[in-house]
């Protein structure tokens, strides 16, 4: 277990964050469609390899990379396994292990994440392929009448079972309960649901014997719904988020890596920076962004090998900006 604690601390080290490159086949296709590039295996490999070989970003600002099942099995153009490319940069390879959010039975307005069947055996294989950590995402939908107690409990229970299986197999679990931005709810409703969700998640983790010093928490920020009539300032988001987490996240958790959840690149950086400007917390506050780290890099790449240097430069810039945000040192003038 001591090795798990060391890896967890490495994942949330000051000044670095985690690249979420674990888009499902459907999600990566949507991203590629936006730049009119075919989502075939070679293009997916080439794009992700461009990110993983971005030396400045990977060595200085990225602590770990979450991979999709296809990617952890792929090799680079020179025949090196992509997990090894990541490791050689000083970063940690990780793996998404859930199989997606499906409708909760007899309830088509809420979701339950599946993938527990056969997970022990898959984790053993992923460990052999080089994975040091894993990720499981649960989604909590918000409206006037939901989430239900059943939805919160079912997802928290599944997250805890997953986390226990990870630690049993010497893999650090990223625990990701995402309260979705989708909806017209305000920031106070988001805070209420986030608090309820995290409280239940940690009760389930403890009940399953999970060592909280050997996990990484990946939650949403406390933020207005995307359809809300009001938009909170970064300072209010930071205040509401950190206050909520101080109530329910145990001090023993080494770090919190926020998901971007539909925010723009700048919004995700600015909000993280505002949190780290507040002061010291018992856990490091960092990032685990997908689109908010990759949007500019994907646009710069545009499916062309000749653009790989431009894509790498765009990715490194975004990684550096978020690194500054983990220290509370980002400002708009540094985006130039």
* Active-site hit among 204, 218, 270, 308: 218
Q: Tell me the Ramachandran region of residue 221: left when phi exceeds 0, alpha when psi lies from -120 to 50, beta otherwise.
A: beta
Question: Alpha helices, DSSP H only, in 214-303?
Answer: 234-248, 265-278, 291-301
* 102 among known catalytic residues: no
- Phi, psi values for residue 331, rounded to 5°: -150, 155
User: What whole-number distance in Å separates Cα of residue 32 and Cα of residue 45?
Assistant: 12
Dihedral sign computed on CA atoms, order 312, 7, 87, 67: negative
- SS3 for 11-55 is HCCCCCEEEEECCCHHHHHHHHHCCCCCCCHHHHHHHHHHHHCCH
Q: Which of 23, 49, 110, 176 is catalytic?
A: 176
Distance in angstroms (rounded) separating the CA atoms of residues 19 and 65: 5
The single-letter DSSP state of residue 92 is E
Write the CB contacts of 255 (distance below 8 Å, at least 6 apart in sequence).
8, 9, 11, 12, 216, 217, 283, 284, 285, 286
Q: How far apart (Å, rounded) are the C-alpha atoms in residues 207 and 14?
A: 30
**Is 218 marked active-site?**
yes
- Name the residues annotated as catalytic: 176, 218
């Amino acid at each position: 277990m001591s090795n798990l604690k060391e890896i967890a601390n490495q994942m949330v080290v000051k000044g670095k964050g985690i690249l979420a490159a674990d888009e499902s086949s459907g999600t990566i296709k949507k991203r590629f469609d936006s730049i009119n590039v075919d989502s075939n295996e070679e293009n997916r490999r080439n794009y992700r390899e461009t990110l993983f070989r971005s030396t400045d970003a990977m060595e200085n600002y990225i602590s770990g990379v979450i991979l999709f099942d296809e990617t952890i099995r792929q090799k680079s153009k020179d025949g090196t396994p992509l997990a090894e490319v990541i490791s050689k940069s000083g970063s940690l390879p990780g793996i998404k292990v859930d199989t997606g959010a499906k409708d909760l039975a007899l309830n088509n307005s809420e979701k339950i994440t599946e993938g527990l069947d056969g997970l022990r055996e898959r984790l053993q294989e992923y460990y052999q392929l080089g994975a040091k950590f894993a990720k499981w995402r649960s989604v909590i939908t918000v409206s006037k009448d939901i989430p239900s107690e059943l939805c919160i409990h079912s997802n928290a229970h599944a997250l805890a079972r997953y986390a226990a299986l990870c630690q049993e197999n010497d893999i650090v679990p990223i625990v990701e309960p995402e309260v979705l931005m989708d909806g017209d709810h305000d920031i106070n409703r988001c805070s209420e649901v986030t608090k309820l969700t995290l409280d239940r998640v940690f009760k389930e983790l403890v009940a399953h014997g999970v060592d909280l010093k050997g996990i990484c928490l990946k939650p949403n920020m406390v933020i207005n719904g995307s359809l809300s009539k009001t938009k909170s300032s970064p300072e209010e988001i930071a205040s509401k988020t950190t206050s909520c987490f101080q109530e329910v996240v145990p001090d023993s958790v080494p770090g919190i890596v926020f998901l971007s959840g539909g925010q723009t690149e700048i919004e995700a950086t600015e909000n993280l920076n505002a949190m780290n400007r507040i002061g010291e917390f018992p856990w490091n506050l960092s990032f685990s962004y997908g689109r908010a780290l990759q949007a500019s890099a994907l646009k710069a790449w545009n499916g062309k090998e000749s653009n790989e240097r431009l894509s790498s430069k765009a990715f490194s810039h975004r990684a550096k900006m978020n690194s500054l945000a983990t220290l509370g040192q980002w400002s708009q003038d540094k985006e130039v």
